A and B are shown apart, each in its own frame.
Chain A
């Protein structure tokens, strides 16, 4: 079925793209003469985005001591690097929020993605090996390749999902059978097409098989474990129903101890609901 894979990669441009405001923000952040004031002005020109971004900035995700009510204040507190991640996450969720996915609800998809991002941030902070901010975005983006599968090939993906529900295998392996590819590979291609920094593409590409990564990075290991935690807790779903297989090397690369899992689970549960409503509720 290799033609399905080639087909899919060519049809990725049928999906909605990241809005111009994301690219303008990114250019400004990368420009040595750019300032957070300019970034804030770009964001405020889009009132819906500005309001959404403030909700996310004030959510349990960042744990700010006091509520911020201007975009510039929010960006100043979280810093330039996290500003990029926040704008990317906010615009991306908005672009895909209202599309129908068929077999899985878009809300459930983002709930799982956000839970994975939140878990990744906690694991990175407790384990001390990965950057919490990068781990969070890697977790949030890890399953993005499922969107093209559901949107572009709903029938094939529906059949793969049914086989998965019948416990014929992990959804990742069934995708390989049905598409000759997987959401991991497609997701990495999608992110590379958007010129998203490589660490996030690599985490999406290898979160199921971290051992196969050419350049192992702590963010890949953290995303693998965070996905397993989010799947076990069943906070939302991108389609997978059964807990995946843990890669022992990836687990050890996170720096986490088994006894710290309880804290990871508790923080993930406590934070995810608030962050999900900040991203999704009107």
Chain B
């Protein structure tokens, strides 16, 4: 999955390596905003995400619309403290609700 489509709360399905072959993040790590930024700073733009039931459902959605919903939520939460786990959880719940409502 591309970084731009990743949302907080997803889990990495495979270890992520830096360009020198060192492990950056272990599989099973929960995706956060900070983690996405870290990946981006390493120049990584695609990772494998655990495909549980919810992800399978969201993969079936039109990816453009899902990206649009994320963009709206990103804007809505842009003035909040997104490094706080509670804000990340709320973001995740809002995302789930928005995707479910389409």
Instruction: Point out residues on A near B: beta carbons under 8 Å.
Output: 167, 169-170, 228-229, 232-234, 241-246, 248, 251, 258, 261-262, 265, 269
Contacts and interface: CB of A to CB of B under 8 A. Distances in A.
A241 B84 contact: no
Interface residues of B, number: 17
Given A167-B78, A242-B75, A258-B89, 16 more contacts: A228-B90, A232-B91, A242-B76, A242-B77, A243-B79, A243-B87, A244-B79, A244-B80, A245-B79, A245-B80, A245-B81, A246-B81, A246-B86, A246-B87, A261-B90, A265-B97
A189 B87 CA distance: 31
Contacts of A269: 97
Contacts of B90: 228-229, 232, 243, 261, 265
Contact of B84 (A232, A248, A265): A248
Q: Which 4 A-B pairs have the closest CB atoms?
A: A243-B80, A242-B79, A232-B90, A243-B77
B85 interface: yes
A261 B93 CA distance: 9
Contacts of A251: 84, 86
Contacts of A265: 90, 93, 97
B94 interface: yes
Contacts of A169: 79
B75 to A, nearest CB: 8
Contacts of A170: 79
B86 A261 contact: yes
Contacts, number: 54
Given A233-B94, A233-B97, A258 B79 contact: no
Contacts of A246: 80-81, 84, 86-87
Contacts of B97: 233, 265, 269
A242 B85 CA distance: 18
B86 A232 contact: no
B80 A261 contact: no
9 contacts: A167-B79, A232-B76, A233-B94, A242-B76, A242-B78, A244-B79, A251-B84, A262-B93, A265-B93
A165 to B, nearest CB: 11
Nearest to A251: B86
A112 to B, nearest CB: 14
B32 to A, nearest CB: 13
A232 B80 CA distance: 10
A249 B44 CA distance: 36
Contacts of B94: 232-233
Contacts of A244: 79-80
B93 A242 contact: no
Nearest to B81: A245
Contacts of B87: 243, 246
B76 A241 contact: yes
Interface in B47-102: 75-81, 84-87, 89-91, 93-94, 97
